[in-house]
Structures are given as C-alpha cells and as structure tokens.
C-alpha cells in the first residue's frame, strides 16, 4: 500500500516535535535534504486503512525570507510531494502564526491546521473559536494539547477523512506564493483581521509578563550577564552534581570487578581471555558509564528545561548580532554551546 505524505510545518517552538514524535513513535529516521545542510526527520504511522509518511519540515516564521530553513520548507511544499500539509500553530500567539498559514495556503489548499498549546492559552485567558477559524480559512482546524496528548484522536480522524475526501474531490493548486513587500504587508493585515474575528482575550495583553521578562533577559545591559551566569550555573551543577553518582558507580563497578574475577578464576578461564574481558571490555565500558552518564543525565534535562521555559530562543536572540558578523545566526550559538560542553565534559 502506498504511503500518503504529510508535510509537518510551523513556527519554531510550537510543539511540532511533540506532534511528530507522538504520531510516529519509533518509526523515525533522519537525513539531510538534497543539496542542503539542513537535517530533516521522517516517520511513518498507520491509522485505520491508511499509511502515512510524516515529513518534519524546518521550523520557520515565513516562506518568503532567504534562510536555508525557509527555502527548504517552501521548496518542499511547492514541489507537490506532500498530499497534506499539517501546520502546527501556537494558540498563545496565533496572530504571529497566521502569517505562515496564509503563505502556505497561497501554495496549496490541502492544509490542516493544528492549534496547539491550548492549555497555555487558557492560562493566559485566551479563547479561540476553532469552528469560526475553520470557516474563515476554509480548512479543517483541530485544537489540541500535544504534551498531554489531548486532541490526537481528533487529529488522526481529521487526517484520515481529509485524505479520503481529497482523493475524491480536491485538485492541486499551483504554487503562487508572492514575495513582494506589498503582498507581505497585506498578509499581515489579513492575519490580524482573522485573529480579531476568532480570538478573544480577557486581558489587554496576555503576554505582558513575557514582555517584561524580555526587557530584562534580552536587554543590552543585563542580557549577556544573565546568560553567562545562568549557563555557568548549569555547568557548575552538572560537574558538581555528577561527582556523587559517578563515585557511587565507580565503587559499584570496582566491587563487581572483584566478584567477576573470582568467578572467572573459579571456572579456570585462560589468563589471556580474562585480561581481554576484564582489563579491556569491562573497564572501558564501566569507565564510560561511571564518568559520562551522570553529567549527561544532569546536563540534558537542565538544558531541556531552559528550552521549555523559552530561554534558549532568547539566548539565540542575544547572540544573533555577534554571529551575523561572521555570516551565521544566533541559533548556532546553542549548537556550539552543546558541542563545546560535551567535549569539555569528556575531559573533566
């Protein structure tokens, strides 16, 4: 049976990866896009009688800019390879996400909108009329909270029904994305109009706290000191905290070493083979576990917390100006920091 291809698109940090992982499970693989340095993930899943191939496109705010990520997303959608484009949007800032949705709709009409983070939107007292949004955009709209897997059954059913109807009725729409400044401004104005029709909020500015926080952590005066102190604190917690489980594992493996050698002597294993197993394989394996596992088990959860709290995008924003001077962008600072930290942990 042939796979039906779904292109998964959306802004960065809207829960796209959570949706991808929940739908595909362990049926995933990664690879570079043809002719590009951008890594893409693909996965498969089956619902009822239909098999789907999910292609995770790079997160992007627009399809009209010149970055590699945006070109990859635009080229893939324009290629017509995808039967459905599933757009994941952030329910807490839907107006910003609508710009990308409208651009994708200018390329293809085979679009399903998934409004994620409805739990966070509720906390910010934001109410979204999903039915009205579906009518205005003339596409299926599914509301969900991906982290809690709320709305996944509805999403699967929508994908299945949409594909069945598409095979019978829908026709391909030629790529007609406009890149001039006037059309871009019109898109932004239309996005604002849709937002005002479909979204109500009980407060004047539901993002007031985030804006106050941004003024501190991304300011010229406090941004860099806070970044250095926070990242330095995480590194210190990683090194100091890892010492205790590392020492415990070393003592455990040393005790096991003694017991295993007694057992090997008891069964009269040849000395050369015993040395290869215990002094080679066993010591190498236990050293890697006792030295590398504890710091990694501490560092990566802390790094994930920074991502969940939204601080890592702010770090990328802080570093963007400096990295542009060497023809790069701020997001690469996070990759460099991860690589440098891992190399440093290996030498500690």
What local confidence, expressed as pLDDT, does residue 37 receive? 53
Whether residue 230 is found in the same domain as residue 135? no
Pairing type for strands 199-201 and 126-128 reads antiparallel
Does 206 reside within a domain?
A: no
What local confidence, expressed as pLDDT, does residue 324 receive? 82
Higher pLDDT, 179 or 19: 19
What local confidence, expressed as pLDDT, does residue 328 receive? 78
Whether residue 48 is found in the same domain as residue 82? yes
Given 170, 201, 232, the domain boundary residue is 201
Whether residue 259 is found in the same domain as residue 323? yes
What local confidence, expressed as pLDDT, does residue 183 receive? 62
What mean pLDDT, rounded, does the chain reach? 84
What local confidence, expressed as pLDDT, does residue 295 receive? 86
Does 241 reside within a domain?
A: yes
The tally of CA atoms less than 13 A away on the side-chain side of residue 48 is: 11
Whether residue 115 is found in the same domain as residue 256? no
Does 209 reside within a domain?
A: no
Does 157 reside within a domain?
A: yes
Please work out, in degrees rounded to the nearest 5, the angle formed at the alpha carbon of residue 16 by the alpha carbons of 105 and 109: 15
Does 208 reside within a domain?
A: no
CATH (domain of 137):
3.40.50.300
Does 211 reside within a domain?
A: no
Does 160 reside within a domain?
A: yes
334 pLDDT higher than 60 = yes
Percent of the chain surpassing pLDDT 90: 31
What local confidence, expressed as pLDDT, does residue 223 receive? 86
pLDDT tens digit sequence for 318-333: 888 888 888 877 777 7
pTM: 0.69
152 pLDDT higher than 60 = yes
pLDDT tens digit sequence for 303-316: 878 877 778 878 88
Answer whether 6's CB lies under 8 Å from 165's CB: no
Please tell me the distance from the alpha carbon of residue 233 to that of residue 61, in angstroms, as a whole number.
32
Higher pLDDT, 142 or 214: 142
Whether residue 84 is found in the same domain as residue 163? yes
Q: Give the mean pLDDT of 187-197.
A: 85
Whether residue 15 is found in the same domain as residue 52? yes
Confidence of residue 1 (pLDDT cuts 50, 70, 90): low
Containing structural domain, residue 158: 4-201
Whether residue 44 is found in the same domain as residue 169? yes
Given 141, 166, 201, the domain boundary residue is 201
The candidate with the shortest Cα–Cα distance to 141, out of 181, 193, 198, 188, is: 198
Confidence of residue 150 (pLDDT cuts 50, 70, 90): very high
Whether residue 33 is found in the same domain as residue 152? yes
Given 201, 228, 250, the domain boundary residue is 201
H or E element that contains 296:
helix 283-308
The number of domains in the chain is 2
Q: Give the mean pLDDT of 37-63.
A: 86
Whether residue 150 is found in the same domain as residue 22? yes
13 pLDDT higher than 60 = yes
Return all residues near 214 (Cβ < 8 A) that are at least 6 apart: 314
Does 270 reside within a domain?
A: yes
Instruction: Identify the weakest region by mean pLDDT among 96-110, 176-190, 242-256.
Output: 176-190
169 pLDDT higher than 60 = no
Q: Give the mean pLDDT of 285-306.
A: 86
Whether residue 122 is found in the same domain as residue 196? yes
Whether residue 188 is found in the same domain as residue 236? no
Percent of the chain surpassing pLDDT 70: 86
pLDDT tens digit sequence for 92-131: 889 889 999 999 998 888 999 999 999 988 888 899 999 9
Whether residue 24 is found in the same domain as residue 170? yes
């Amino acid at each position: 049976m042939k796979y039906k291809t779904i292109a998964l698109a959306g802004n960065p940090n809207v829960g796209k990866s959570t949706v991808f992982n929940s739908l595909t499970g362990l049926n995933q693989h990664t690879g570079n896009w043809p002719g590009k340095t951008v890594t893409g993930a693909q996965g498969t899943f089956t619902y009822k009688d239909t098999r789907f191939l999910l292609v995770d496109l790079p997160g992007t705010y627009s399809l009209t800019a010149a970055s590699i990520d945006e070109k990859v997303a635009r080229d893939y959608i324009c290629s017509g390879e995808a039967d459905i484009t599933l757009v994941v949007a952030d329910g807490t800032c839907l107006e910003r996400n609508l710009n990308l949705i409208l651009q994708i709709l200018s390329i293809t009409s085979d679009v399903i909108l998934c409004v994620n983070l409805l739990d966070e939107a509720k906390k910010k007292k934001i109410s979204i009329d999903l039915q009205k949004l579906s009518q205005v955009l003339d596409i299926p709209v599914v509301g969900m909270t991906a982290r809690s897997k709320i709305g996944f059954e509805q999403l699967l059913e929508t994908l299945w029904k949409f594909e069945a109807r598409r095979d019978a009725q829908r026709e391909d729409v030629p790529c007609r994305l406009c890149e001039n400044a006037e059309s871009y401004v019109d898109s932004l104005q239309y996005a604002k109009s849709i937002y005002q029709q479909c979204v109500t909020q009980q407060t004047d500015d539901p993002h007031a706290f985030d804006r106050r926080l941004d003024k501190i952590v991304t300011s010229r005066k406090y941004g860099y000191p806070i970044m250095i102190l926070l990242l330095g604190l995480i590194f210190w917690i990683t090194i100091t905290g890892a010492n205790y489980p590392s020492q415990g594992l070393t003592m455990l493996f040393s005790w096991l070493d003694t017991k295993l050698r007694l057992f090997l002597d008891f069964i009269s294993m040849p000395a050369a083979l015993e040395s290869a197993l215990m002094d080679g394989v066993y010591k190498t394996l236990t050293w890697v576990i006792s030295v590398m596992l504890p710091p990694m088990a501490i560092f990566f959860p802390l790094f994930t917390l920074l991502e969940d709290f939204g601080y890592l995008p702010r770090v990328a924003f802080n570093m963007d100006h400096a990295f542009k001077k060497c023809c790069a962008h701020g997001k690469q600072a996070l990759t460099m920091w991860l690589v440098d930290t891992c190399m440093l942990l290996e030498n500690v």
